[in-house]
Amino acid sequence: LSCTWNVPDNATTAARVKIILTGDTAVVSTSPNLFAIRGKLTMVSPNGDPSFPTNAGGTAEDWEVQTVKTVKWTKFGTTGAMTGNVQLKYSANNGADSYPYEIATDLVNGVNGSCTPPSGGGCYDWIVSDVVSNQVKVKIILLPDPGVTDTSNNPFKVRAGFTVTAPTTGDIWKASLLKTIMWQKRGSVPAVKIEYSKLGNFTDKVQIHASANNGSNTVAGNGADGDCTATAGTGCYVWR
């Protein structure tokens, strides 16, 4: 025989169950060994693309390096270890690397900062790390009881980002003169394709360079029409 028990919010590592016959308390039995009652953490976001790997991952959540994205989780349990803090980690290859990279640790198992959590849950605003991959997953760990943990259900995508800083509004570039295209970069990617459009909507795009260095470019190394030296976090290309 069996019965369904709604386990109470009473965390312990020394629980036992006792059965007593109604009307004859001498007929009794207890569970032979101690068992634990634990809380539960469930990752809500990011939870990835359920079609992975068919769809190569990431279409459900597509996050950019250095943008602020909110990690969210729900929790069940308010006693024992569940009153402790949590750690967030991430994997770049669908968990095969055992989540070696830390997002944050000693976080409150609730609201951290000004983020908005799911009902009764917790959250943390993550400045997305430089992990350009379509197989990223996040893991949450309860620090006082690391066995209470959860991960993203499926991988999601983290992509690089760029902001063109030159040319800018109002610039007039004359034909046959050397001009330096400049950009800010977010994320470690080695090369970029550079195109231009006379219409401005890139339906008429023309390729400037198929694979320019995502940083400094020189005549000898990258086929530019002149040398440029990029500062940290930027890229440049001299265009005729």
Chain segment 126-152, per-residue pLDDT in tens: 999 999 999 999 999 999 999 999 999
Amino acid at 94: N
Beta strands in the chain (DSSP E): 12-15, 18-21, 24-30, 35-37, 40-45, 62-64, 68-76, 86-91, 101-107, 122-127, 133-142, 149-151, 156-159, 161-166, 179-186, 191-196, 206-213, 234-239
Residue 226 pLDDT level (bands cut at 50, 70, 90): low
**Residue reference for tokens 């959250």:** 123
Retrieve residue 97's tokens. Answer: 């690397």
Q: What is the pLDDT of residue 176?
A: 82
pLDDT over 90 (residue 14): no
The pLDDT of 69-74, averaged and rounded, is 96
Retrieve residue 51's tokens. Answer: 């079609």
Q: What is the pLDDT of residue 223?
A: 47
Reduced to 3 states (helix: H, G, I; strand: E, B; else coil), residue 80 is: helix
pTM of the entire predicted model: 0.79
Q: Where are the alpha helices (DSSP H) in the chain?
A: 219-222
Amino acid at 199: L
Amino acid at 189: V
Bridge partners for 64 per DSSP: 159
Q: What is the pLDDT of residue 60?
A: 67
Q: What is the pLDDT of residue 3?
A: 83
Retrieve residue 118's tokens. Answer: 């799911």
Q: What is the pLDDT of residue 83?
A: 86
Q: What is the pLDDT of residue 54?
A: 53
Q: What is the pLDDT of residue 57?
A: 47
**Residue from 125, 118, 121, 126 nearest 109 by CA:** 121
Retrieve residue 185's tokens. Answer: 């970069």
Amino acid at 192: V
